[in-house]
Structure 1
Amino acid sequence: IDRMLWLYENRKLIEGLTFVEEPSVLRFFFGKLQPISDWQSKLVAKFKEDFDNGL
């Protein structure tokens, strides 16, 4: 539960994804996505900073 609370408190680090390929049928299942920035790296760095000893 502490990780879920941490994720909620750091939700502004998560920016989103955009479609690279968007098929006309079932786009959410077969579409290809890419991040709109390097938010994953920022999220991982913050997680390691906060929980590195607890991993």
Structure 2
Amino acid sequence: MTLIILVNLCVFTNHIMSLSAFPFYIQSLGGTEALAGMCAAFFCLVAVVVRPFVGW
């Protein structure tokens, strides 16, 4: 049980770290602030939609 909790903590931490750095990465590639925001929003949306299917 403890291992499951630790794995879930690592997955959640990875998601939050990726989400916070993602817009800056898009901007470093030459994207605008609007594009970076849309990409971050799409990233969140996909994470919410896919989560129930991955849980199976």
Q: Shorter chain as normaliser: what TM range?
A: 0.3 to 0.5
Rg comparison, structure with higher value: 1
Q: Normalising to structure 2: TM-score of the pair?
A: 0.33
Higher share in strand? 1
Q: Normalising to structure 1: TM-score of the pair?
A: 0.33
